[in-house]
Amino acid sequence: MAKDIRIDPRGPRFGAAVTLVFAVAALVVGANNVGLVLSFLLAALFLPGAIVGPQATVQSAMFARWVRPRLAPPTETESFRAPRFAQQVGLAFAVLAILFLALNVVVGYFIAIGFIVLASFLNSVFDFCMGCEVYLLATRATRRA
């Protein structure tokens, strides 16, 4: 198992807010070429986080550069594993949105983007990471006593 990397839990929340802006834009513009470009942008935002972890994303770099210096140090840190899983789920939904557009399945596009909007909204506004919770449930369910 890879070394556990500890991250500031406020970083992924900031990243979710950035993601929310692009996901809402994709939802509003709809299933057209602009929606396709925004879906590819969402996939590009999720990709580094899905492979390496949330600490490797553009949003994390923005947080580290512009937001974190203005905040007090975090009172606690968290493992990168659950947020990385959440990034993998987000990437899967962004890829699904792209595939649905390529196949002209408009309803599928809106459902996939809608899930990204819902998850990023819950994380950025209420600090509730759906993907993280699924990861923790799966980890508990598969852990041997």
Query: Residues 64, 11: contact at Cβ < 8 Å?
Result: yes
Instruction: Give pLDDT, residue 5.
Output: 94
- What's the pTM value of the predicted model, to 2 decimals? 0.95
Q: How far apart are CA 86 and CA 79, in angstroms?
A: 12
Confidence of residue 2 (pLDDT cuts 50, 70, 90): low
pLDDT class of 42 with cuts at 50, 70, 90: very high
Please, what is the average pLDDT of the chain?
96
